[in-house]
Amino acid sequence: MKTSLLTGWQARFHAVCLMMLLSALAVGAFSSSAHAQAQVAPVAEEQVAVEPLPDPAAAAATAAPAEEAAAPTFDHGDVAWMLTSTLLVLLMVVPGLALFYGGLVRSKNVLSVLSQILVVFSLVLMLWVAYGYSAVFSEGNAFFGSFTKFAFLKGFAPDSVGNTPIAGLPDYLFVAFQSTFAGITTALIVGAFAERIKFKAVLLFSALWFTLSYIPMAHIVWGGGYLGEMGAIDFAGGTVVHINAGVAGLVAAYFVGKRIGYGQTALKPHNVPFTYIGAMLLWVGWFGFNAGSAAAADTVASLAFINTILATAAAVLGWTLVEAVSKGKPSALGAASGAVAGLVGITPACGTVGPLGAIVIGLVAGVVCVWGVTGLKRLLRVDDTADVFGVHGIGGIVGAILTGVFSAQSLGGTKADLDIGHQVWVQVVSVGFTIVWCAVVTAAILLVVKLVVGLRVTEEAERTGLDVTSHGESAYEA
pLDDT (tens digit per residue) in 390-443: 999 999 999 999 999 999 999 999 999 999 999 999 999 999 999 999 999 999
**What amino acid occupies position 225?**
G
Alpha helix segments (H runs only) across 41-162:
56-70, 76-91, 98-104, 110-127, 133-137
Question: Looking at residue 207, what is its pLDDT?
Answer: 98
CB atoms < 10 A from the CB of 343, how many? 30
Instruction: Kindly tell me if the per-residue pLDDT of 18 is higher than 70.
Output: no
| Coil vs helix vs strand at 426 | helix
**What amino acid occupies position 224?**
G
Q: What is the percent of the chain with per-residue pLDDT over 90, rounded to a whole number?
A: 80
**What backbone phi and psi angles, to 5 degrees, belong to 454?**
85, 160
β-sheet bridge partners, residue 161: 170
β-sheet bridge partners, residue 456: 197
**What backbone phi and psi angles, to 5 degrees, belong to 5?**
-65, -45
Question: Looking at residue 162, what is its pLDDT?
Answer: 78
The enclosing H or E element of 3 equals helix 2-40
Question: Looking at residue 17, what is its pLDDT?
Answer: 46
CA dist 142 and 400 (Å) reads 21
pLDDT (tens digit per residue) in 264-313: 999 999 999 999 999 999 999 999 999 999 999 999 999 999 999 999 99
Question: Looking at residue 256, what is its pLDDT?
Answer: 97
Instruction: Kindly tell me if the per-residue pLDDT of 49 is higher than 70.
Output: no
Q: Which of 338, 239, 235 is nearest to 291 (CA)?
A: 235
Q: Which of 129, 348, 327, 126 is nearest to 234 (CA)?
A: 348
Q: In which band, very low, low, confident or very high, does the pLDDT at 13 lie, cut at 50, 70 and 90?
A: very low
The dihedral through the CA atoms of 339, 344, 346, 347 has a sign that is: positive
Question: Looking at residue 43, what is its pLDDT?
Answer: 39
β-sheet bridge partners, residue 415: 408
Question: Looking at residue 326, what is its pLDDT?
Answer: 95
Instruction: Kindly tell me if the per-residue pLDDT of 14 is higher than 60.
Output: no
